[in-house]
């Protein structure tokens, strides 16, 4: 298994002032689906733009499919497929015509492109709609079309920037199915960015969590959840018993306890064993349990642990990330 | 198509309402066509004179505002698709230049044809033939090429349609009025005449009108035509170089 993408100290500074990506290093194995997970403004899109030659690299190096991105952008473009965030297929052309156009842009002859169109479109169930103009397509259909538009020239790496942005739950799940299919059947390496935790969890072989331009942690979703997650029991205790944090921490099998008003978040590797002792112990303290919830490890927990705040908090301050975008525009 | 309608309105409505022949009192109307002919370099009707001017204006306006499509391409992400494809950056620029030029030249030919059907419209001399037609459109092609080079590069360089429209609005009216598009520049005040005489629009009109009015040219007229065409060629080349440099910069990675 060789590394098909390798980034070392990759940095992007806009306008000499705004550091969008701060000296990150990572590698992607051939044939895997690798995801950059992070909130808006984290530097995901900037990183992918540096790798697919749309943005220049300020410091550091990146190699894609064996070629230095800064020195040989033309060669890199031949080996990559790029599926952008925006919906860029031409409305006035049919799905098939868009495919042929992309093929020709990638140096295929019209006839060579045409032979591949039907088989590629059938991979994403678009053969029936292929002769219709794209303006009649739904959002999901457009994204599926764009997915295979990037594949006509048989690239080694496919770059997906937020592939299911704005789609409903069912369509998203279908997209994941298509992406996994392309990866398994063609050995296609996929580098994707997303801010959807469930997407990173179910789709990616490995992920890197990125925030404020730096990689906080990386690994397989399972590794990350085990290391930073763990089961959580949230115990709501009624007032009047004092602080039970130390008592709960002392119970065998409990790794960590935090208190928020009268809710105790108990982190523990194995709930089944410790739960009876916890409940028994709390009742012995003559506390009244008002509620218990129990959750298995999730990437949100990993994110919270690693970054210090939940992805949702970051999303809520989206006025901040809007400003980040405006600053970037001005700095350009 | 809207472009053709604008051209026809300019020709038919402006050409009829602003026709200086209207100023000639009715008891002297038999002198109307010789007066027009004298003022407008031998043209039998005002619209004969105006046709070349209107075609140049169509060229300027359509090249300038045609850039809006390119700005949209950038905003909607289509330009990124082109930039990540293994194609030379020059191909992106030159294809933009070519498509704008071809579209507008077709419009120009249609305008020329329509001008015949307007009352007191375009009247060509008997000796006007295919070579003369090519000569007329040769001037328009050179003017259009220069304009397309610079306006396409401009469109690729701006980030929003508002910026493009602001710049273009500022440029097009001076280009249009500081020329002989509507009236011979020889009758302009000195300060205006100086600018008008170096304006490539003036040269294109002059070259086209020599053929439209005279058909076969005398050797003196031919050398004027030749000089005008050389000027237009130089203009197109200079703007081509400038435009290429600006476009290369605009299409660089961000």
Q: What pLDDT shows up at residue B20?
A: 82
Interface check A304 vs B, CB under 8 A: no
Sequence-ordered list of residues with C-beta below 8 angstroms from that of A230, at least 6 positions apart, any chain: A255, A267, A268, A269, A297, A301
B9 versus A49: which is more confidently predicted? A49
Nearest CA in chain B to A91: B78
Q: What pLDDT shows up at residue A321?
A: 46
Chain A nearest CA to B71, separation (Å):
14
Q: What pLDDT shows up at residue A320?
A: 44
Q: Which of A88, A89, A146 to mutate to test the interface with B (most CBs of B within 10 A)?
A: A88
> Per the CB < 8 Å rule, is A73 touching B78?
no
> Per the CB < 8 Å rule, is B82 touching A77?
no
List, for chain A, all residue ranges whose pLDDT scores fall below the cut of 50: 317-322, 332
B204 versus A252: which is more confidently predicted? B204
> Per the CB < 8 Å rule, is B254 touching A85?
no
Domain range holding B157?
2-250
**How far is it, in rounded angstroms, from Cα A179 to Cα A197?**
16
From A73-87, A314-328, B12-26, B113-127, the region with the lowest mean pLDDT: A314-328
Interface check B252 vs A, CB under 8 A: yes
> Per the CB < 8 Å rule, is A88 touching B78?
yes
- Burial zone of A172 (CB within 10 Å; 0-12 exposed, 13-18 middle, 19+ buried): buried
Q: What pLDDT shows up at residue A145?
A: 94
Nearest CA in chain A to B72: A88
B232 versus A282: which is more confidently predicted? B232
Q: Which of B86, B90, B91, B162 to mutate to test the interface with A (most CBs of A within 10 A)?
A: B86
Domains in chain A with CATH codes: 3-225 (3.40.50.300), 232-296 (3.30.70)
Chain A nearest CA to B104, separation (Å):
21
Q: Is A31 left (phi over 0), alpha (psi -120 to 50) or beta?
A: left
Q: Choose the closest CB to A88 out of B76, B86, B254.
A: B76
Nearest CA in chain B to A105: B85
**How far is it, in rounded angstroms, from Cα B190 to Cα B187?**
9
Q: How many domains does chain B have?
A: 1
Q: What pLDDT shows up at residue A285?
A: 82
Length of chain A in terms of residues written: 332
> Per the CB < 8 Å rule, is B86 touching A106?
yes
Sequence-ordered list of residues with C-beta below 8 angstroms from that of A198, at least 6 positions apart, any chain: none
Which residues of chain B are within 8 Å of residue A48 when distances are taken between CB atoms? none
Q: What pLDDT shows up at residue A259?
A: 82
Q: Choose the closest CB to B86 out of A77, A85, A329.
A: A77
- Nearest CA to A12 out of A1, A22, A25 is that of A22
- Nearest CA to A70 out of B91, B245, B82, B252 is that of B252
Q: Count each helix (H run) and each strand (E run) in chain B, helices first.
A: 11, 0
pTM score: 0.83
Q: What pLDDT shows up at residue A39?
A: 85
Q: What pLDDT shows up at residue B241?
A: 97
**How far is it, in rounded angstroms, from Cα A208 to Cα A29?**
13
Q: Model confidence over B56-107: pLDDT tens digits?
A: 999 999 999 989 999 999 998 899 999 999 999 999 999 999 999 999 999 9
Q: Model confidence over A137-189: pLDDT tens digits?
A: 998 899 999 999 989 999 999 999 999 988 888 899 999 999 999 999 889 99
Q: Choose the closest CB to A78 out of B78, B86, B254.
A: B86
């Amino acid at each position: 298994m060789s590394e098909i993408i390798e980034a070392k100290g990759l940095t992007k500074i806009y306008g000499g002032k705004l550091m969008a990506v701060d000296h990150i290093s990572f590698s992607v194995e051939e044939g895997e689906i690798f995801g950059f997970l992070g909130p808006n403004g984290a530097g995901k899109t900037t990183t992918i733009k540096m790798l697919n030659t749309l943005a220049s690299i300020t410091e550091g190096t990146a190699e894609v499919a064996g070629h230095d991105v800064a020195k040989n952008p033309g060669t890199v473009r031949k080996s990559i497929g790029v599926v952008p965030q925006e919906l860029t297929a031409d409305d006035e052309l049919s799905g098939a015509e868009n495919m042929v156009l992309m093929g020709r842009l990638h140096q295929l002859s019209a006839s060579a492109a045409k032979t591949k169109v039907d088989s590629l479109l059938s991979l994403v169930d678009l053969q029936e709609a292929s002769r219709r103009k794209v303006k009649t397509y739904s959002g999901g259909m457009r994204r599926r079309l764009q997915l295979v538009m990037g594949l006509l020239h048989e690239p080694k790496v496919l770059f997906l920037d937020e592939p299911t942005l704005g789609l409903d739950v069912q369509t998203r799940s279908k997209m994941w199915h298509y992406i996994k299919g392309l990866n398994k059947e063609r050995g296609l390496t996929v580098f994707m960015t997303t801010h959807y935790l469930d997407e990173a969890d179910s789709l990616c072989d490995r992920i890197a969590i990125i925030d404020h331009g730096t990689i906080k942690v990386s690994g397989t979703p399972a590794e990350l959840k085990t290391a930073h997650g763990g089961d959580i029991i949230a115990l709501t205790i009624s007032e009047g018993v004092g602080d039970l944090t130390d008592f709960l921490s002392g119970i065998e099998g409990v790794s960590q306890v935090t208190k928020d008003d009268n809710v105790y978040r108990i982190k523990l590797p194995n709930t089944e064993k410790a739960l009876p002792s916890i409940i028994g112990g709390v009742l012995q303290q003559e506390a009244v349990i008002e509620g218990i919830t129990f959750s298995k490890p999730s990437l949100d927990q990993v994110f919270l642990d690693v970054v210090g705040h939940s992805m949702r908090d970051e999303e809520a301050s989206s006025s901040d990330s809007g400003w980040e975008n405006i600053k970037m525009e001005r700095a350009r | 198509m809207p472009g053709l309608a604008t051209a026809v309105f300019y020709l038919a409505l402006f050409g009829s309402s602003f026709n200086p022949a209207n100023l000639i009192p009715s008891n002297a109307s038999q002198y109307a066509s010789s007066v027009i002919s004298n003022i407008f370099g031998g043209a039998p009707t005002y619209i004969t004179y105006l046709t070349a001017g209107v075609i140049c204006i169509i060229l300027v306006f359509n090249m300038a505002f045609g850039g809006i499509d390119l700005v949209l391409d950038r905003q909607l992400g289509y330009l990124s698709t082109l930039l990540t494809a293994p194609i030379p950056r020059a191909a992106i620029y030159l294809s933009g230049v070519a498509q704008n030029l071809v579209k507008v030249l077709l419009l120009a030919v249609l305008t020329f044809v329509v001008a015949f059907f307007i009352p007191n419209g375009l009247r060509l001399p008997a000796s006007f033939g295919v070579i003369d037609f090519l000569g007329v459109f040769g001037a328009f092609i050179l003017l259009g090429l220069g304009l397309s080079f610079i306006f396409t590069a401009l469109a690729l360089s701006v980030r929003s349609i508002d910026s493009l429209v602001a710049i273009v609005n500022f440029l097009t009216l001076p280009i249009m009025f500081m020329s002989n598009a509507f009236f011979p520049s020889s009758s302009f005040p000195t300060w205006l005449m100086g600018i008008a005489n170096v304006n490539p629009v003036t040269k294109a009109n002059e070259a086209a009108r020599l053929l439209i009015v005279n058909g076969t040219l005398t050797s003196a007229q031919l050398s004027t035509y030749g000089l005008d065409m050389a000027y237009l060629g130089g203009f197109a080349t200079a703007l081509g170089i400038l435009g290429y440099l600006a476009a290369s910069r605009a299409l660089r990675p961000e």
